[in-house]
Amino acid sequence: MPDSDQKIAEVLRTVRTIAVVGASANAARPSFGVMRFLLSKGYQVVPVNPGHAGGEILGQTVYAALADIPFAVDMVDVFRAPDNLPDVVTEVLKMEPRPKVLWGQLGVSHDGARATAEAAGMTVIMDHCPAIEYPRLIG
């Protein structure tokens, strides 16, 4: 079942801190552009990429894993292959406090991962991009 515009808009209006799993320091990569967009809209963005851990992407400290983030995040935005989503959900469900939202980027969808996250009480959006949905739904 597709995620509704109302659900997507509510998420974009209420989350403030977003962990980006699969963040890239390469300006040509979609995750870099999405991070830049989210930062421009006032979100706190936390890049997660073990290959860049300890460095910075767009001035934001990069963490190796979700478990390494020393503060709460509201949403986890995933730029990984769909096959990786079950493992990402396992990581997310171990976070304290647990993020409210799991977001899979365009092409990133996994029915089992969705079911697991929703069963744990999370809001799940998959196969969407916040940098596309924000201008379309928020303005």
Token pair listed for 73:
């995040």
Instruction: Give residue 37's pLDDT.
Output: 98
* The predicted structure's pLDDT at residue 1: 61
Its domain, for residue 62, covers: 5-137
Q: What is the structure's pLDDT at 139?
A: 86
pLDDT for res 92 = 98
How many domains does the chain divide into?
Answer: 1
pLDDT at 2 over 80: no
Q: Report percent pLDDT > 90 for the chain.
A: 97
% of the chain at pLDDT higher than 70 = 99
The CATH number for 19's domain is 3.40.50.720
Distances, alpha carbon 9 to alpha carbons 22, 26, 40, 125, in Å? 23, 28, 17, 11
Q: What is the pLDDT of residue 102?
A: 98
Query: Rounded mean pLDDT of 16-24?
Result: 98
Task: Please give the average per-residue pLDDT across 53-77, as a whole number.
Answer: 98
Q: How confident is the model at residue 16 (pLDDT cuts 50, 70, 90)?
A: very high
The per-residue pLDDT for range 86-120, each reduced to its tens digit, is 999 999 999 999 999 999 999 999 999 999 999 99
pLDDT score, position 135: 97
